[in-house]
Amino acid sequence: MYPDLSTQHYIRLLITVLFSFITSAILIYPEKFQMVMFPFSALGRKFTPSGLQNIYARIVFDAGMFLCGYTMYLLARYYSRKHPVPDAPIYEFLSYISAAGFFLMMAPCDVPEVRFLHSIGSGFVVGSHFFMASIRIMAVQQHMKRWSLYILLTILISSVLFYALLWFFELPYHPLFQKPAFAAIIYVELRGSTLSRFLGERKVRLSLQSQQLH
């Protein structure tokens, strides 16, 4: 079993790519992007809600989804090669699901013929990262304060499930609750990967010290 020293790098790369391309797409969106009323997937529409053609923001959004998908593909390959953690096969599977989801999200959500592909992709991305964040934080729970673990899990589960219900039934204001749900997933997954890397580095140090003593 190898120490997990690389997952954090992939997660940080994913977050950087996602934030950079989403922000860039918002800045060049043909009309003012309303964070409260528009989901992020609106950046990949062919036309804005008011009917303006959305060319450049869509290109940036699709490029971001492709790079995010490729990053998750690389993470899946990392897990398949090294098995750095006991749950590596599960992480590998979920990373492939996430990669497929990002690729499917390149389908514009305002085109009826392919809208279902975009919806499937969104479900894949949110679901896979929700489970990865949950498993990752539970794997390092013995190195966390109990109250901190409970708070993180409560925020993660409540925000994601509430958003999922609103999204599934297409209820009003689901774009508003999309943002805190994404923020919760990102924070918990990053927190878990950071602790995992710290534990991996400590394991390497202890191993080197043991070798030097012998």
Instruction: Encode 15-77 in three state secondary structure.
Output: HHHHHHHHHHHHHCCCCCCCCCCCCHHHHHCCECCCCCECCHHHHHHHHHHHHHHHHHHHHHH
Q: What gap in Å lies between CA 101 and CA 6, rounded to an integer? A: 22
| Size of the chain, expressed as the number of residues it contains | 214
| Mean pLDDT calculated for residue range 169-187 | 92
pLDDT tens sequence across 191-201? 988 887 766 55
Check residue 198 and give its pLDDT.
64
pLDDT tens sequence across 70-90? 999 999 999 998 777 778 899
Q: What gap in Å lies between CA 22 and CA 1, rounded to an integer? A: 37
Domain boundaries, the chain: 7-207
Most confident of 73-77, 140-144, 167-171: 73-77
| pLDDT of 122 above 60 | yes
* Under 8 Å between Cβ of 85 and 139: yes
Find, among 68, 70, 90, 71, the residue nearest to 80 by Cα: 90
